[in-house]
Structure 1
Amino acid sequence: MGSKRKQKWTAPALVAASALVASALTASPETVFVREQAGTIWQDGLFIGDGATGAMAYAPAHLEWTINRNDVLDSRVFSCEYTPHAEVMACVATNAGHSVAFLRAEKQRTKGFPDGGSMLTASLSAAILHVRFWSGVGWSMPSIPATRQELDTRTGELSAKMTSPFLTPEALSFIERSRDVMVVDIGDPNAPNRLAVIQLARPEDHRLEDSGFAWTIKDGVVGFAQRLPGGETYAVAMSAPATPVAHGRTASVRASGRKTLFLAVRTTRDADDPVAAAFDAVKAAEKDGFDRVRADNRAWWKDFWMRGARAYFDSDPAVDTQWNYALYALAAQFGASPMPALNGLIYGPIDGANAGVGSHCYVHDQNVQIPMMPFFPLNHAEFIKPFIRTYQDAMPEIERRTMEKFGVKGAYLPLNMNQFGFEHPVADYRYTLCGGAYSGLVLAQAWWYTGDEAVLREIYPLLKKFILFYTETMTRDADGTYHFIWSVPPEIFTGSKDDTTAIACLKPCLETAVEAATRFKCDAQELALWKDVLAHYPAFAKHSEGGWWCGPEIPDDHYMYGGHLFYPFFPSEADTDIEVAKKTLDYAWKYAVEISYETPEPHPVHDWSALYLGMATTRIHGGVKGWEALKDFQDGFAKPNGVFSHNPIILTKMTREEALANVKKAPKLLRRNYHGKLTEWGRRGPNDLTYNPDAKALVAPVIEGGAAFLMLSSEALLQSWGGEIRLFPSVPEKFTGKFENFRARGGYVVSAEMKNGKLVDYSIKGGKADDKVMVTCPMDPSFVAQIF
């Protein structure tokens, strides 16, 4: 990391050591997420997790947990008669619009799949746990108590308290990481002998065959095994404090008094006999006891918050609480291979016809990569490990598929890939080839923010495999410029060589590989090639209005998604030209197809677009405009339970006529489609306006939304792109708050405090002894820029 240096601007010190410990570990209103009335469905539940297993906790009447695991899934993929790569390129060459629409004719389905084959990419939940504190159901049930939930982000513990004059049961639940065991401690402090009816159920899912299902009851543990559609098996085991009775897919236990339940999920990825592994995990946890398991869980979370970043948005408690919960929830979904997919671990069954939500796959145009981004500036680069391990585990199939499809070495990442590395065919979307470059960029970011050679050594082997695919498929002009494989920028289905998305992400991959090979004195031949490629790199395509564009072979008047135009600026930082970024931002707001004009002010209709446009606004303008981008994101996508939806849910009192009047004010959008025809595009969103006050609670969440919020809110406090450390660059006037242990590019550890818009203290540590970096505070005009 180099020599440790510290720069302080004014006294007093940012925070004393004892206060630092207290602020990191003590529960406060901002670090405890409270639901005065618990949600009644999993979509509105609070989340607990350990990076492998997760649960959504809610209270339909009783207490309930939907339990998920990253490797409980339908691993089948559709058989597909793929058009050979050479034929695709030949069709593109004779296709005036460079469109891949013809690939829609590829056959995806084959005979032989059971019912539910159309749901191959839908999530699959492992189990549901019900606990009710009365025996009657239906007409004989009591008046249902109110349920209040508190999730302490500093300990990962969720308490649920049911209240009524005579029913006051409580439950404390968490999932301990080292054991991968869920703990639920139940009882009624005012009725020590309160009855509890405990039910463990396999969720209804028509993809799962009853012939592959069986209960096991022994030694005070009840569990089931279920064969998955792809042939793997998973098992769930739970403590049985009394004799269980199994009927169909549900086992019930009736017990009185305080009880501690231990529950474990295991798969054939864990052990040849997942039933035995799940039972052993439960018995081991029972032997250790509740207090020891709880202490270990608390110790992990204590270490997490002590080592990593902390933020305090005193001027906006809603952002403060959201930031703590978002970071907690993100960390609670990462830790093991396979890493979480688009749904994270925050999913569940919808109904009998829809047993899961899409998609359990890794979607490589951005959905895999966005959740990783906040870990690095927030000082948690350790989460690069499950990211790397996931691809290493799948690498044999990835490399086999790369050779089969393209005839080259290296690692091509399909647009849609399951946890075993198998490609899900997506017809005309499968030629979006930025995936390896984008995942390689994530590896590069881990190095940017740590400056740690151990991290560089860890990421380098995988980074080389991603790079190799692009160097094996590149060509070179007579003038010496290299050009990269023809690819479709995300979601427009018309392609180009030197697709801006791909080459923007690839450039920092090459730069990081050069750094690694130079430091480690290895791979001399590859090093020479990488340097030559960087010296003769293709320019990023520009639109006629001056901003970045999709690719050099894509017509100026083609439709586009504005968020994807910013990849050179963010996340790759391969081109930080502010003037080009401004022109791109202006163009995107006017003409991007993912912008809705139904509301008085236009808004993006997807969380990822709101991230890219918001990050551009935060970095270009900062201040009030940047803060408004953060608040707009929170208002549009945050759910009442602290997670985020993919599309905005906008509560409104506008009439249909008023919304359409807003749409009519939008600039006319006449753009070329993927068939090469000029078409007028609508300016409405995907029905994101509603009168339903419960709409936000009802929609299913995605993992990337929390990560996007963390990026926007954290960059309001600290930015370090373009060789400059900016303190509080995107906060409103008279802002009060502070941050601790953030990371800046170059391996710096930065802390700072602002009161009423004035920077009162900051500290910078780390970096290399010979590095120089500019330190500014854009929102405090009294601060004089300094060289550190």
Structure 2
Amino acid sequence: MACTSGLENLPTKTSKSDLVFDSLAQTWDEGVPLGNATIGALVWKKGDALRLSLDRIDLWDLRPSDSLSGANFRFAWVKEHIRTKDYLPVQKKLDHPYDMEPAPAKIPGAALEFSLKELGNPSSVRLYLNDALCEVKWPEGTRLQTFVHASEPVGWFVFDQLDENLIPDIIAPTYADTLSGDSGGGPVEGLDLKRLGYSQGKVIRDGNKIVYHQKGFGDFYYEVAVSWMKSGKKLYGTWSVTTSLCPEKAEEEVEEAMKRGVANDYEDHTAYWDTFWKQSSVSLPDSLLQKQYDNEMYKLGSASRENSYPISLQAVWTADNGKLPPWKGDYHHDLNTQLSYWPVYTGNHLSEGLGYLNTLWNQRDVYKQYTRQYFETEGMNVPGVCTLTGEPMGGWIQYSMSQTIGAWLAQHFYLHWQYSADEDFLREKAYPFVRDVAVYLEQISFVDQAGVRRLEFSSSPEIYDNSLNAWFKDMTNYDLSLMRFLFRAASEMATSLKLGEEAAHWAQLESQLPAFDLDKEGALTFAKGHPYNESHRHFSHALAIHPLGLIDWSNGEKDQQIILATLKKMKDYGPDYWTGYTYAWYANMLARAFKGEEAAEALRVFASCFCLKNLFHANGDQSGTGKSLFTYRPFTLEGNFAFAAAVQEMLLQSHTGVVRVFPAIPEEWKDVAFTDLRARGGFLVSAERKGGKVVQVKIVSEKGGTLHFLSPDTGEVLEVNTKPGEVVSYKY
């Protein structure tokens, strides 16, 4: 018997950054997002129904790609075709199947619908960020409150003051139908679901419960269940999505949730979110940026958990339009996953970031097998585009099977160590992961007659697309920066672990690498003879500036000139072929150059022009104001999280080992503050600026150690030896 206790209204706490609308969204990608990194929902209107698009992170078609196998699935075979300039066979085998075949791919779950024929259209819709709850109100007094439990694989809905005889219905995706109509499309707009070839699943209705069972490829299946009860003028219920990849069963999950009751579940849910929001906060004088930042951190809390799969292109908000999601909803490691986790470090959400690192760690055997087969080396590289389980998916192989992607992913292990000061993590995970990548990079490269370590062919995302010209005979600054970072980080980590011989070996390998290539103005190029001379969305040539920090303002005049020249080129050639994430990344780089006004302006453009009504990043310019010639709207999340990281870079920097507060804020930001942002070394920093002057700084040392702090009062670097838990305070 379901528990009917605790049916009072669910208490909420408003925020100025809440999303507030006077009607439901009309498209799935503008729906109100709810999620817990495992399951998610989008609240919107389709036809005459209020619709909850239901999703789960491990809803995947994992069928193997036949083209990514066989005797020719080797980089040596690819290089033979590059040398002979006979590249079409490579494109046919390794690039084209990604565009033409429907799977492997992320797939949708189902939808929950409530008819609006009697209720009519609502008059207000609100996402309460503090409580991760969506509230929908009707003029006659009816109200819906719905949330995805923060730590259980269930979602809840509660209708209040309901006179109509309303019940939920599960709407299954259309997997089996005639192929009449548009079944085409590409990876950006999405291939039709019917191309997956599934038999249509069964929806079974039994009293106050509906269960939908859908078989996928091979032995895979998934289940969606909803159960509900009516009590007077209230209708309440719960739903779940589970797959054959997890031990839970959706039908059992909803039964257990109904026994616990909505009040108990909501109490646990809000306790989680209270803790999440207490981890850190920022207070900005710019209301547009404040609202965007708070919503980005909300999305981070909805899409990441310590034991979850990583954030994919759309995380737990897969397309609900009868098609596969943009770019198959996969894991793009040539930029997207890396940017998505930028804000976990300074944002003091290391636990949420572990979902990324734990998955990378757990999939090492898959990566090593791929490395042995394709690159024919020891050590480990990671596919640049991969499935839920880490298998390569192909595509433009200069990037989807890049030689250096593993180094960019390894940086996140390095960052977690730096920000946590966790020596156990360094010894047990960070250095072993980095070392495996270093072993591979040493073997994939060679030393020429001049004693310079090189790659025979090099690439730079996504320059010259997937053409033969996208393979450079000279080292690109992209590949070079990642190799330089990786060997340097490996040496630093080995030194910290007192592994002197290994540290020296990695340092020697770094010393063999060539210098970064610069154009005649002193700006970073893509490669020798290939300057940044036209607008491009991917700043692959400038990784050395950000996020790797190899070229940094603190290194002196030479680096400063490179940074300024590189930023000038980006600005001069303009944003015609930028996407939203480009603006967010550009803001991070500007912050590293202490250009606060320009960084804030880039973020304003992102927030104003590249986001949908629910603040999802849509890649293309939605404003019609010419901020980019890309005007499409495939939703992906990396731009949102790169935005949050840029705000953090403006407020606090510590990548040089010196803690700087408010290093890159606009002059007009007279009153600004932040609480418990994280600096490298395991320091939690809070600071406040009033009337254009820093008035107080508080630094908590989690692990102890030496703090280097740039005094905003004198401009001197203060050196303070701290003990674990010690608080260092300054008032001005």
Which band: TM-score by shorter chain?
0.7 to 0.9
Cα distance in 1 for partners of 2:206, 2:197 equals: 24
Deviation at 1:490?
A: 0.5
Q: Is the 8 A contact 2:621 2:629 kept in 1?
A: no
Question: What is the number of equivalent residue pairs in this alignment?
Answer: 670
CA separation of 1:321 and 1:484: change in aligned 2, threshold 3 A: same
Deviation at 1:267?
A: 1.0
Deviation string 1:299-350 (CA, Å, 9 cap, x unpaired) is 11111122x210111x222221221111011221112443231122233222
- Given residue 128 of structure 1, which amino acid in structure 2 is its aligned partner? A
> What is the RMSD of the two structures over their aligned residues, measured on CA atoms?
3.1
Deviation at 1:447?
A: 1.9
Deviation string 1:689-723 (CA, Å, 9 cap, x unpaired) is xxxxxx9xxx3421112102101222222222334
Q: Is the 8 A contact 1:437 1:502 kept in 2?
A: no
Cα distance in 2 for partners of 1:464, 1:591 equals: 39
Q: Does 1:350 align with 2:321?
A: yes
Q: Does 1:765 align with 2:700?
A: yes
CA separation of 1:454 and 1:57: change in aligned 2, threshold 3 A: farther
Alignment-derived partner of residue 590 in structure 1: 572
Cα distance in 2 for partners of 1:770, 1:198 equals: 57
Q: Is the 8 A contact 2:535 2:578 kept in 1?
A: no
Deviation at 1:109?
A: 6.9
CA separation of 1:518 and 1:618: change in aligned 2, threshold 3 A: closer
- Given residue 252 of structure 2, which amino acid in structure 1 is its aligned partner? D
CA separation of 1:92 and 1:454: change in aligned 2, threshold 3 A: same
Which of 605, 609, 613 does residue 578 from structure 2 map onto? Answer: 605
Q: Does 1:750 align with 2:685?
A: yes
Q: Does 1:66 align with 2:43?
A: no
Which of 54, 74, 79 does residue 66 from structure 2 map onto? Answer: 79
Cα distance in 2 for partners of 1:240, 1:209 equals: 33
Pairs within 5 Å for 1:271-420: 271=247, 277-306=249-278, 308-313=279-284, 315-335=285-305, 336-351=307-322, 354-420=323-389
Deviation at 1:360?
A: 1.6
Alignment-derived partner of residue 21 in structure 2: 35
Deviation at 1:783?
A: 5.9
Pairs within 5 Å for 1:642-653: 642-652=615-625
CA separation of 1:474 and 1:107: change in aligned 2, threshold 3 A: closer
- Given residue 546 of structure 1, which amino acid in structure 2 is its aligned partner? G
Alignment-derived partner of residue 636 in structure 2: 702
Alignment-derived partner of residue 241 in structure 2: 265
CA separation of 1:211 and 1:769: change in aligned 2, threshold 3 A: closer
Deviation at 1:440?
A: 0.8
Secondary structure in structure 1 of the residue aligned to 2:685: strand
Deviation string 1:83-121 (CA, Å, 9 cap, x unpaired) is 6422332443455xxx967732436678xx9xx963336
Q: Is the 8 A contact 1:341 1:359 kept in 2?
A: no
Unaligned runs of 5+ in 1: 1-24, 134-140, 243-254, 597-603, 653-658, 660-683, 689-694
Alignment-derived partner of residue 102 in structure 2: 119
TM-score with structure 2 length normalisation?
0.84
- Given residue 642 of structure 1, which amino acid in structure 2 is its aligned partner? L
Deviation at 1:609?
A: 2.1
Cα distance in 2 for partners of 1:438, 1:485 equals: 20
Secondary structure in structure 1 of the residue aligned to 2:391: coil
Deviation string 1:389-439 (CA, Å, 9 cap, x unpaired) is 322443333222211111112222223211122222225534533321111
Q: Is the 8 A contact 1:606 1:647 kept in 2?
A: yes
Secondary structure in structure 1 of the residue aligned to 2:107: coil
Deviation at 1:170?
A: 1.4
CA separation of 1:359 and 1:215: change in aligned 2, threshold 3 A: closer
Identity percentage of aligned residues: 21
Deviation at 1:491?
A: 1.1
Secondary structure in structure 1 of the residue aligned to 2:659: strand
Which of 397, 400, 416 does residue 446 from structure 1 map onto? Answer: 416
Deviation at 1:478?
A: 4.8
Cα distance in 2 for partners of 1:511, 1:30 equals: 44
Deviation at 1:556?
A: 4.6
Deviation at 1:236?
A: 1.0
- Given residue 706 of structure 1, which amino acid in structure 2 is its aligned partner? N
Cα distance in 2 for partners of 1:49, 1:451 equals: 30
Deviation at 1:497?
A: 5.3
Cα distance in 1 for partners of 2:254, 2:662 equals: 47
Deviation at 1:525?
A: 5.9
Alignment-derived partner of residue 128 in structure 2: 152
- Which structure has more RCO (C-alpha within 8 Å, separation ≥ 6)? 1
Pairs within 5 Å for 1:167-206: 168-188=141-161, 191=162, 193-204=163-174, 205-206=193-194
Q: Is the 8 A contact 1:566 1:616 kept in 2?
A: no
Q: Is the 8 A contact 1:388 1:459 kept in 2?
A: no
Alignment-derived partner of residue 674 in structure 1: none
Q: Is the 8 A contact 1:431 1:487 kept in 2?
A: no
CA separation of 1:144 and 1:122: change in aligned 2, threshold 3 A: farther
Which of 111, 115, 130 does residue 128 from structure 1 map onto? Answer: 111
Alignment-derived partner of residue 578 in structure 1: 560
Deviation at 1:66?
A: 0.5
Deviation at 1:647?
A: 1.8
Cα distance in 2 for partners of 1:109, 1:256 equals: 58
Pairs within 5 Å for 1:607-626: 607-626=580-599
Deviation string 1:21-74 (CA, Å, 9 cap, x unpaired) is xxxx99343343322333122111111100111111113443211111111122
- Given residue 482 of structure 2, which amino acid in structure 1 is its aligned partner? C
- Given residue 637 of structure 2, which amino acid in structure 1 is its aligned partner? I
- Given residue 517 of structure 2, which amino acid in structure 1 is its aligned partner? A
- Given residue 487 of structure 1, which amino acid in structure 2 is its aligned partner? S
Cα distance in 2 for partners of 1:587, 1:100 equals: 32
Cα distance in 2 for partners of 1:399, 1:145 equals: 54
Unaligned runs of 5+ in 2: 1-10, 175-192, 464-469, 553-558, 720-732
